[in-house]
Chains A and B, each alone.
Chain A
Amino acid sequence: MLISIASGKGGTGKTTLALLLAAAHSDITLVDSDVEEPNCHLFLKPQWLEEEEIKVIVPYINTDLCNGCGACSAACLFNAIAISGGKALLFDELCHSCGGCLLACQHGVISEDKKTIGTIMTGTSPILPNTCPIKGTLHVGTPSGVPLIKALKEKVSHLKGDILLDCPPGTSCSMVTGIKNSDFCILVTEPTPFGKHDLELAMNITHLLQIPTGVVINKSDEGTGDKSIEMLCQSHNLPVLAKIPHSLSFAKQYASGIIPDDFKPIATSIWEQLEARRRKEA
């Protein structure tokens, strides 16, 4: 089962929950797909066994042959090619690797080249020996992590067993790419107006993608904030899978890069609920 963990608002506890769930499982792959700012490794302290560069296709313009006709530039809806000094000039950070310029050029000037946008690392963790950590890291300055997230998902697509996907925050393309095609999505929120507002945006996305969804309330204080999240979940017909209590000692341990045992029963109960779901579906 591929379980994505997303949130809308950042810093609600996606990575925390991913680690808690991994620690309570006997054999699991944990994919850090928050490629702009991956953090799972800070807790898992993995030994990386394998590193792979992820490349995207970009056009290569042979300027010696280019006559500056502008067909490629006109075909590029991302404005990644301009004509300057009678030659086509590429701005590769805007390129979406669609191949449109290649098809548009009538003079055989454009061929395909590759550009590295980040890396994928696979390893083992001495902290959680039952967990196989996989991390995507986007090169700083690369605007879009989407192709890297796609590559991560492609890499684990053939794996059997349970896979946890720690997704990027927000509700835009990188988050959508992260949760797309997952069997279940857990949205982590906090009982504040910010948490609630962004949770609703994220719920709309999982609804749009038709992904079964459950909610975890982190930093819960059983107060009015909790109530208002619960009401939101009820109105969207989504279950609250668990509440992780607000705890200063937990926050301190998190700050030092430690996965505390305190909330293991909570993680176990989430797995039981997911297991029950799986049995019901089977």
Chain B
Amino acid sequence: MSLLEVTRVTKRFGGLVALDEVSLAVGEGEIVGLLGPNGSGKTTMFDCITGVLPLDGGTVLLEGQRLTGRRPWQAARLGVSRTFQVLRVFKGITVLDNMLVARRWNGVGMLRSLSRPRRVDIDRAWELLRFMRIDRLGNDLASTLSLGQQRLLELAMALMPEPSVVLLDEATSGVNPSLIEEIKDRIRELNAQGVTFFLIEHNMGVAMDLCERMYVLHHGQLLAEGTPAEIQADDTVIEAYFGA
């Protein structure tokens, strides 16, 4: 059984079919890519998995547990972490506070939440910030960080709750090349330690480099799946990207 199982997921927006019976799976410890031209449904897929959008058909399972129909905060508590295409960090608070917000909130009711942030969370936050090489910015407001640094922060936040799977939506978008390499390195290191990634990536080079497997969407349908080499050689994929 795979870690994340998406089975025949369908999503419609009025008359438009954004996702049409798409099935895919992400195994534990893998780095899997989700590719496709603009408008093919990639972000919609992420939205469906994380509970931002309700499904019109199909199921999503995480480690055998039903994710379908969950609200975003419930999906997050079940172990799904996600970043966004348009960067979403909490600008008005410090970097460290951003990390603390991203902790695992399972079992924290009203009473527990009245306590101060736990030592173990604070330590873990600094840990991750150090790992991302942005710990020196820990006490700065997130708004003062550069775009690249914010992306690193977003990645760190995604890891904070020890998620089962990390969904990265265009993690390198808008970032300069050297930082892209750094982000790739971080992802690889994390993966070596067992973190599972599911990436949407527009940057072909990054995708081919990082992913061991990939899915290609086109007009809401699954066009192809396979290893990077297989995908690159696939004519239908080439046509989807460059064709009419």
A binds B: no
Q: Which residues of A contact B (CB under 8 A)?
A: none
